[in-house]
Amino acid sequence: MGLPRWPVPKEAHMTIVLTGATGFVGGQVLRRILDGDHRRVICLVRADSRASAARRGRQTLYSLYGKISRRHLRRTEWIPADLELERLGLDEACFADVAARTEEIFHCAASTSFELSAEDARAINYTGLTRVHELALAAQRAGSFRRLNHISTAYVSGDQTGTTYAADLPAAGSGLFRNTYESSKADAERFLREESQVPWAVFRPSIVVGDSQTGETSNWNVVYYPMKLMADGKIPYIPHLGRGLVDCVPVDWVADAIVALARRDDVDGETFNLSAGDDAITVSEVIEQTFAGLARRAGHAVEQTTKPVGRIGWKLLGAWARLRSRRAATFLDRFAVYEPYCAVQCVMNSERTQALLAEEGIELPDMNAAFARVVDYALEQNFGRSRSQEREEAASVRIKQAIVSAVENLTSGEISGLGAVA
């Protein structure tokens, strides 16, 4: 998806500040800025020195382009920072210098972990934004600041049913959030809506997966974890009958959308869902696609060894597994953070976003075809694992055997009925 170039800004010395440039989405945003904008980019990265930050920068550029060009080195500046600290951990002189040069900010840095404490998640996702906002405010006071572009998540809509829209944001303490990731990202959005003193826009990707054309990814979290378990034969059952919606979008479309929308002058104070919406796939389709990929790779039909079961069936299986095997109990504890996402019944509407993107010549790819390429790449790369990791993890296939053996005492009729329990 080629993007037109930005016009050369009147102030040629002005700079874009980018956080999260070494991350999955942030890296792709960086690439599109370097390819389509004339401004320099200051990348704030976690590092203990300028030399270490520059080294991370070179590694990032190489991973994005397969080479390191002088042009990209001249266009980028890598500064060590800590987004949880006052002035982003920069000394006064450095902070003032960055603020004086900053015309626009893309805040992509975040923790996407579902398992952080509320305090830790808030420190990264909420406090991190407020510190970046301090830079934006200083930049606005110093010159012609344009906008703070904040990358959030469509899942700030929380555990709801029906259809949610970009304008929706559950109240703090509403009890709708599945984990501290969602609640801390919602807190950050609420800060912008209620307290921001600079122009802002919020972009909410759903679950970001690999490139729509190649499947390539550097991020093996979220949907890749249960896919890996299926491919390894370690998860014989999936809860909630496989009916949950898995709203996945490819990283190239997400990055193209963020950069294209940020280029517009009519998005200040707006929030955009970058989601598949009505085109979201289901958990059952993730299972089917994963085993179809295994079959393509094997060159013959492969038995689908992961079966959807109902909510009660899942609880029964879990109870038996915990009684029979400590390893199975450990697995179930780890999988617990993903279970709520197997039951999502909310369509995250993105019609308005897609209408604006159509004006920019950007369309959401067919997600079934794109997801097949995501699966193929994941299998080809062994989900990012080295061969030594593969050998170590091979032994843990006994988890599946433990879970299966945990229901041996159930009658065959009871077992066959588990899949029908809603």
- Contact residues for 240 (Cβ-Cβ < 8 A; gap 6+): 283, 308, 310, 311, 314, 342, 343
- Angle at which helices 367-380 and 224-231 cross, to 10°: 60
pLDDT of residue 422: 35
Residue by residue, DSSP assigns 256-284 as HHHHHHHH-SS-TTEEEEES-GGG-EEHH
pLDDT of residue 13: 61
- Phi, psi (deg, nearest 5) at residue 412: -60, -35
pLDDT of residue 330: 82
Burial annotation 105-124 (CB, 10 A radius, 16+ → b, else e): bbbbbbbbebebeeeebbbb
Residue by residue, DSSP assigns 310-358 as -HHHHHHHHHHHHHH-HHHHHHHHHHTTTGGGGS-EEEE--HHHHHHHH
Phi-psi bin for 383: left (phi > 0), alpha (psi -120 to 50), beta? left
pLDDT of residue 392: 54
Output the six-digit token pair for 156.
Answer: 């700030």
pLDDT of residue 334: 84
Structural domain spans, the chain: 15-219+246-277+347-379
CB-hemisphere CA count at 13 Å for 312? 8
pLDDT in tens, the chain (422 residues): 444 444 434 444 689 999 999 999 999 999 999 999 999 999 999 999 999 999 999 999 999 999 999 999 999 999 999 999 999 999 999 999 999 999 999 999 999 999 999 999 999 999 999 999 999 999 999 988 999 999 999 999 999 999 999 999 999 988 999 999 999 999 999 999 999 999 999 999 999 999 999 999 999 999 999 999 999 999 999 999 999 999 999 999 999 999 999 999 999 999 999 999 999 999 999 999 999 999 999 999 999 999 999 989 898 988 888 888 888 888 888 889 999 999 999 999 999 999 999 999 999 999 999 999 999 999 999 999 875 455 555 545 554 554 444 444 444 444 444 444 33
Dist CA 147 CA 269 (whole Å)? 10
CATH for 15-219+246-277+347-379 (3.40.50.720, 3.30.420.40, 3.50.50.60, 3.40.50.2300): 3.40.50.720
The predicted model scores a pTM of: 0.89
Residue by residue, DSSP assigns 77-111 as EEEE--TTSGGGG--HHHHHHHHHHEEEEEE----
pLDDT of residue 143: 87
